[in-house]
A = this chain, B = another copy of it.
Amino acid sequence: MNPRLEIFSQGEEIVTGQVVDTNSAWLSQQAVEMGFTVTRHTAVGDKLEDLISVLQDVAKRTDCCICTGGLGPTTDDLTAEAVAKAFDLPLIFDEIAFGQIQQFFSNRNRIMPECNRKQALLPKGSLRLDNTAGTASGFALQVDRCWFCFVPGVPSEMKHLFSQHIQPLLLQKFILEPNQLITIRTIGIGESSLQDLLSNIDIPQCVQLGFRAELGEVQTKLLFPANYSQAELKNLIEQITAQIGDAVYAVNGLGREAGDVDLISVLDNLMTTNEYTIAIAETVNQGLLAAKLVGLPWLLSSHYEQSNMHLAQQLNINYLDKDPKISAETIAYAVQKKTDADMVLIQLTGNSKASNILHEKSCVIQNGLLTKKGFNHETISITGDIKRKQSQAALASLNFLRKKLQGQM
């Protein structure tokens, strides 16, 4: 059986709802992939008696607990004191931690406020976890069978301490069988359609299947136990991706070294490899399509107008055809001529006179791509609130480009 792990967050800003606790989800994902079973999240505010009681309860019921927050210099940062009281351990002044705090301030040409001195007080017997990103050292200690790891609540410092110190420590203290998480990333297919497609495939009981819809894409997540055969794993993933078809734009987790690949990085890779440049013209997503490609040098320019008619006017086209596809093609050629880009990606309203169409309940839009091989075109419709439609439109255009590039236009 996997060792059990809990997450414990401290902070008045969390329990009063001023801050959404994203640390717990991030830490839980890491712990699950390492081979822990995460059983509980707890958050309390800055009350010493609540902290003590949670710490004592946790020590009785779990094998490991990662605790965030409460390590700052102010009077409401009570974690070290709570640990000392909960487990009857004196606080010891740690010279090395204190030296690091002094160094932090002198590096910034600032005088250390007296209150920061308390951050060098660590419960007796604990391991110091050096924090190069801030003044709060983390620490770890074992109480009965439970390993506690304490880190600051600032997400960047928390993540830094986790990967630098906590992950290596836990790998040393626990016998873990890491699960392998494979994420199949798709655009242009809904969660229920994915479920239907996957019901045709025999997925073993020991593989945990989940879906996550976010930012216009759906991720199918498969968590494989440590002892699962790599050959069978690859075979199963191939079956699934073949079943889903070209809505799959990336599979994460097969090669552990590769890291997460998202739609933009897939596009960047395709465009850069082929040394293509592109220009955008559109009357739908109002700049969001270009904004998503921030900093990528192959995007030369982007132009938004409220309607196809206005766009044509700005391009000095006097006449738009009644056939939306012919109009779209005319516009794409005009943009190509003006910008001299290798490709032109356009997104236009279905009706050339329509203006600001994202206000309409259901919007018919055209995606088009002009390349040296000619003009490709599709018509789709989008619904939802205005921001959702904007985001869906931008993603649909990027996905249209991705499919054409992968199919070599």
Contact = CB atoms under 8 A, between A and B. Distances in A.
A220 to B, nearest CB: 12
Contacts of A228: none
A99 interface: no
Contacts of A24: 17, 21, 43
Contacts of A27: 17
24 contacts: A9-B41, A13-B210, A14-B25, A15-B39, A16-B28, A16-B38, A17-B28, A17-B32, A20-B21, A38-B45, A41-B44, A42-B43, A287-B287, A287-B289, A287-B302, A288-B288, A291-B291, A294-B387, A295-B386, A295-B390, A297-B355, A300-B310, A301-B314, A314-B338
Interface string A84-127: 00000000000000000000000000000000000000000000
A166 B139 CA distance: 41
Given A41-B43, A291-B287, A25 B32 contact: no
A286 B291 contact: yes
Given A19-B212, A38-B15, A302-B304, A286 B294 contact: yes
Interface in A212-255: 212, 221
A207 interface: no
B356 A295 contact: yes
A42 B57 CA distance: 13
A26 interface: yes
A280 to B, nearest CB: 8
A118 B94 CA distance: 58
A290 interface: yes
A200 interface: no
A303 interface: yes
A31 B13 CA distance: 14
Interface of A: 9, 13-22, 24-32, 38-45, 47, 50, 210, 212, 221, 285-291, 293-295, 297, 299-306, 310, 314, 338-339, 355-356, 358-359, 386-387, 390
Given A15-B38, A18-B29, A39-B47, 20 more contacts: A9-B41, A14-B41, A16-B32, A17-B30, A17-B31, A20-B20, A21-B21, A39-B50, A40-B43, A40-B44, A41-B43, A286-B290, A286-B294, A286-B302, A287-B291, A288-B288, A294-B386, A297-B355, A299-B306, A301-B306
Contact of A310 (B45, B290, B295, B301): B301
A50 B62 CA distance: 12
B314 A299 contact: no
B50 A40 contact: yes
Contacts of A221: 18
A123 to B, nearest CB: 23
Contacts of A286: 290-291, 293-295, 299, 302
A28 B20 CA distance: 10
A303 B338 CA distance: 13
A302 B285 CA distance: 11
Given A29-B17, A39-B47, A356 B386 contact: no
A25 B21 contact: yes
A396 to B, nearest CB: 15
A19 B387 CA distance: 21
B294 A291 contact: no
A30 B287 CA distance: 35
Contact of A306 (B47, B297, B390): B297
